[in-house]
């Protein structure tokens, strides 16, 4: 018997040759993708899915070519049951998952295969399905073999009684499944491990099931994804910890200067450094100029910097720093804001009301500069109220409050609790002086004051205080500051609150000002975000797809052959009698 080909990817096992590399299985997976699959987006749309070397040799070949002997089945099957693919955004993760879905459906030799796409919700999982569907439509061989049932987000192979299906984004939807392959997209968005465990526990009766999870790094608040990330890195260092897990992870070290582009792969650094390490597609289908533009923006915006590090450098970032750059804040406050010159101008308003005896904030947001309503940017006019007992309690800030009160920036009201009548009188005067289109408020802490203002003719808009609703307003504040277009006149109370703000950051990067994390009051910034909420507008894009004729390059018989997997006899021969060369 010839010498066994040991797998360079499997763990060291005391039984010599227990894990081995089957080049025929690996080559079959590569050929299936490159000869039957097309790209569906951007300038490569319609062209054959020719794998980059890193995709071919660091993911596809080891994942589908590393084998192990299964005592129960008395045959050789794939070693891996879990594949963890972690790289920066726009490096082709979802499109690769779509190709794997079709391979699992029609090229994996599994009778009655069940292939599933899962994600945080059905729409996210549908992204992989939609790409796979288009791949089928653009290939005459696959289109002839497979049936697309779009209403159910399902692709069926009648010949083997197999199907590929999108599942709802919850653990209940996984009950009763018997998956042979699971494509798990953007693990970072999962709040817990219930869906993950539900899919894994359905593997029981399959010969060589596999779950392929693809994700980008996240903020460290994404606890489940962080747990799987850290376990995967330990396995990468010592495969014996979890022999059934395959790990491909490209993360820029935390101590790397995020502005340093690094260098492409070389003999000294085969995977490249810096941006090139986390983005193996740079120079291929990912354009470095896009990253450079984002890095320039990130230099001006703290949250954009964190987002760049997370989604472009694939670093797991802990959001424990203040949000706003106060040097930049002060640059935006150089122009004086004169209320009298703003009279008659349209504006939006945001209000943040305290339930009892604390700060209340009212912020007017005018389009334009303090002197030109048609110019770019925004002009901010805030006012604040606080009961006197709250001033007395803050001995370390009392002198500041007294100055602000004396100079008219802060109204300190008498009595133990908020004086809503004083707030009403001030807002009523503003309504006479300015054209307030709407005012936004937190519905959780709404008071009688909101109803009274509506009765006086002002239009109130509820602003839910969730990251999904406040992400865009928060980014709008950042953008205005970065463009030196947030003219706040250096208002000292608003500046104090801006200096206090820390953010809540969800695992997938949505942000909002956090009262819980911020050490002191941020009511003015909360009111400003409510005002910006009223100005937000969405945008959409569409992708263009073209057709590629496969028959110009490969014969139908050659392509049909790829639908037949490598036989088990050939697998045994590859193990016991490898090619002498």
- 10 Å CB burial of residue 164 (0-12, 13-18, 19+) is buried
Domain boundary among 267, 288, 318: 318
In whole angstroms, give the CA distance from residue 503 to residue 517: 7
In terms of Cβ atoms closer than 10 Å to its own Cβ (0-12, 13-18, 19+), residue 171 is middle
Max mean pLDDT among 38-52, 113-127, 477-491 falls in 477-491
pLDDT of residue 318: 66
Which residue intervals of 44-121 are DSSP H helices?
53-55, 61-65, 93-106
Do 303 and 431 lie in one domain? The reply is: no
3-class DSSP assignment, residue 236: helix
Beta strands (DSSP E) in 218-291 are 245-249
Q: Considering only CA atoms, which of 106, 120, 83 is closest in space to residue 9?
A: 83
- Residue 154 and residue 31 share a domain: yes
State residue 399's pLDDT score.
85
* Judgement on whether residues 94 and 180 belong to the same structural domain of the protein: yes
Contacts of 560 (CB under 8 A, 6+ apart): 141
**Section 14-37 average pLDDT:** 83
Q: Pairing state of beta strands 82-86 and 486-487?
A: unpaired
| Residues 420 and 470 reside in one and the same domain | yes
Q: Which of 434, 416, 280, 428 is nearest to 344 (CA)?
A: 434
Predicted structure pTM score = 0.68
User: To the nearest whole number, what is the mean pLDDT of the chain?
Assistant: 86
Structure tokens at 303: 């949250």
Q: Are 238 and 274 found together in one domain?
A: no
DSSP summary character for residue 58: I
Strands 75-78 and 66-70: antiparallel
Domain count within the chain: 3
What tokens appear for 1 in the block?
Answer: 């018997």
Beta strands in 65-189 (DSSP E): 66-70, 75-78, 82-86, 114-118, 147-149, 154-157, 162-166, 181-185
**Quick check: is 540 in a domain?**
no
Does 108 reside within a domain?
yes
> What are the tens digits of pLDDT across the range 371-428?
999 999 999 999 999 999 888 887 668 888 999 999 999 999 988 888 889 999 999 9
- Per-residue pLDDT for 558 more than 80? no
Shared domain check, 202 and 291: no
Residue 381 and residue 366 in contact, taking contact as beta carbons nearer than 8 Å: yes
Question: What count of residues does the chain have?
Answer: 581
Picking from 59-63, 121-125, 139-143, 229-233, which range would have the lowest pLDDT averaged per residue?
A: 121-125
Same domain (yes/no): 44, 167: yes
CATH code for the domain in which residue 526 is found: 3.30.420.240
Contact 85, 59 (CB under 8 A): yes
């Amino acid at each position: 018997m010839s010498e066994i080909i040991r797998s360079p990817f499997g763990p060291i096992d005391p039984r010599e040759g227990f894990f081995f590399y089957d080049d025929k299985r690996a080559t079959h997976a590569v050929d299936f993708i490159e000869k039957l699959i097309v790209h569906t987006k951007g300038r490569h749309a319609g062209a054959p899915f020719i794998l980059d070397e890193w995709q071919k040799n660091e993911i596809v070949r080891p994942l589908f070519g590393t084998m192990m002997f299964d005592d129960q089945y008395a045959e050789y099957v794939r070693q891996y049951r879990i594949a963890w693919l972690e790289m920066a955004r726009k490096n082709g993760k979802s499109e690769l998952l779509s190709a794997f879905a079709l391979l699992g459906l029609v090229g994996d030799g599994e009778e009655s295969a069940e292939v599933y796409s899962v994600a945080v919700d059905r729409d996210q999982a549908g992204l992989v399905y939609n790409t796979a569907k288009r791949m089928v439509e653009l290939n005459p061989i696959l289109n002839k073999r497979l049936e697309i049932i779009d209403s159910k987000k399902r692709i069926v192979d009648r010949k083997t009684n197999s199907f590929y299906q999108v599942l709802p984004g919850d653990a209940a939807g996984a009950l009763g499944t018997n998956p042979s392959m699971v494509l798990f997209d953007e693990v970072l968005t999962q709040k817990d491990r219930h869906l993950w465990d539900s899919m894994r526990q359905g593997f029981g009766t399959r010969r060589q099931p596999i779950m392929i999870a693809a994700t980008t790094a996240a903020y460290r608040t994404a606890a489940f994804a962080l747990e799987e990330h850290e376990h995967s890195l330990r396995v990468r260092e010592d495969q014996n910890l979890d022999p059934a897990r395959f790990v491909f992870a490209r993360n820029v070290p935390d101590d790397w200067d995020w502005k340093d582009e690094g260098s492409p792969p070389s003999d000294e650094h085969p995977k490249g450094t810096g941006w090139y390490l986390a983005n193996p597609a740079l120079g291929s289908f990912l354009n470095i100029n896009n990253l450079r533009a984002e890095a320039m923006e990130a230099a001006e915006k703290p949250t954009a910097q964190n987002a760049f590090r997370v989604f472009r450098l694939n670093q797991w970032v802990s959001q424990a720093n203040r949000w706003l750059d106060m040097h930049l804040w002060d640059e935006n406050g150089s122009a004086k804001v004169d209320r009298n010159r703003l009279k008659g101008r349209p504006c939006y308003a945001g209000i943040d009301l305290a339930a009892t005896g604390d700060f209340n904030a009212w912020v007017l947001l005018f389009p334009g500069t303090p002197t030109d309503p048609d110019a770019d940017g925004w002009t901010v006019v805030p006012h604040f109220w606080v009961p006197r007992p709250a001033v007395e309690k803050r001995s370390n800030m009392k002198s500041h409050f007294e100055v602000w009160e004396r100079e008219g920036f802060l109204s300190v009201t008498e009595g133990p609790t908020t004086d809503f009548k004083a707030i009403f009188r001030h807002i009523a005067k503003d309504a006479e002086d300015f054209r307030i289109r709407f005012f936004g408020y937190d519905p959780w802490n709404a008071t009688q004051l909101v109803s009274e203002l509506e009765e006086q003719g002002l239009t109130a808009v509820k602003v839910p205080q969730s990251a999904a609703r406040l992400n865009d307003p928060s980014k709008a504040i950042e953008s205005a500051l970065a463009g030196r277009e947030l003219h706040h006149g250096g208002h000292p109370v608003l500046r104090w609150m801006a200096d206090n703000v820390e953010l809540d950051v969800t695992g997938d990067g949505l942000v909002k000002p956090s009262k819980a994390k911020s050490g002191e009051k941020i009511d003015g910034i909360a009111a400003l975000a409510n005002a910006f909420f009223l100005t937000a507008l969405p945008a959409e894009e569409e992708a263009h797809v073209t057709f590629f004729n496969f028959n110009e390059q490969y014969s139908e018989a050659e392509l049909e052959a790829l639908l037949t997997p490598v036989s088990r006899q050939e697998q045994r021969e590859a193990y016991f009698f490898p090619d002498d060369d």
